[in-house]
Amino acid sequence: MSTLTEIASEEAFNNHVSSIPPSALLVLYFHTPWAAPCTQMRTVLSTLASTYPATTPPGISFVSVNAEELPEISEEYGVTAVPFVVLVRDGKTLQALSGSDAVKARVAIEQHAGVDATGNTTGAGKQSIPPPLHAEPRKDISTSTPSTSDTPLATTNGAVSAAADPSLPPTKDELFARLDELVKAAPVMLFMKGTPSAPQCGFSRQLVGILRENGVKYGFFNILADEDVRQGLKEYADWPTFPQLWVKGELVGGLDIVKEEIATNPDFFKDYSVAPRT
């Protein structure tokens, strides 16, 4: 049976990709160790992988990538949040799925697994598939093994897939439910323009600098990559500008508010730092 293979380096990733035939479906699963929804998705993909026979050469390959440890691979595939699943064949992205919707991921993989690079049905079918695992995403985020990467990622639940119909925007209730998950994706969440490694505005750059100076472990979401989140969060938070910093699901505010909090309480970030301030 097939398995979900963990990739530890860019070299290992390149070697793996080059070792499978162009007709094989490559299932890329991007995750971070601190994001609870990733635990559910890993279980789903591991179970699904086990239903496909291990063949030589392989007809399908499941690969797990730590999005923060291997940022160049993450950038290459447009990863802005975790869990994130990308389906690739012959070097071309077929579909990208952001969020922990187990049913959506399972259906997409099954659809593409039986079609080769030319669009024809292949014989590399799956074995009998067990019922889909669709547990509710956990609301708590583990901080026992936080990431200290310069490019932390947000988790999203129910995020619209890249292949979703753009003519069907989410309802307000659906969007707010998604935002409720996003603001709690990590104990400290930064909604910013750009990414920590490439901020797209001065305020975002300064706030990233403050978090780094204080050794804060945090998640982020690039609001420039998702217009629904960008506009919806303004109403959800009743705060019209970005960046926005959230702590334990509560809005702190923008750059000026964060500066004021630190000036009033130098230990404001103490509980969320990798190491105590000196």
CB 64 within 8 A of CB 42: yes
Where in the sequence of the chain do the CATH 3.40.30.10 domains occur? 4-113, 169-272
CA–CA separation, 211 and 111 (whole Å): 42
Chain segment 240-267, per-residue pLDDT in tens? 999 999 999 999 999 999 999 999 999 9
CATH number for the domain running over 169-272 = 3.40.30.10
Q: Which tokens in the block code for residue 4?
A: 């979900």
Chain segment 11-29, per-residue pLDDT in tens? 999 999 999 999 999 999 9
CA distances (Å), origin 252, targets 95, 243, 278: 36, 11, 24
Chain segment 177-191, per-residue pLDDT in tens? 989 988 887 888 999
239, 243, 238, 236: which is closest to 176 by C-alpha?
Answer: 236
Annotation: CATH topology of 4-113: Glutaredoxin (3.40.30)
Q: What average pLDDT is seen over the chain?
A: 79
Structure pTM?
A: 0.50
Bond before 71 cis per omega within 30 degrees:
no
CA distances (Å), origin 116, targets 22, 112, 122, 149: 9, 8, 6, 37
pLDDT of 225 strictly over 70: yes
Lowest mean pLDDT among 53-62, 113-122, 191-200: 113-122
Give the pLDDT of residue 75. 86
CA distances (Å), origin 171, targets 58, 153, 174, 175, 232: 41, 25, 5, 6, 11
3, 20, 122, 105: which is closest to 64 by C-alpha?
Answer: 3
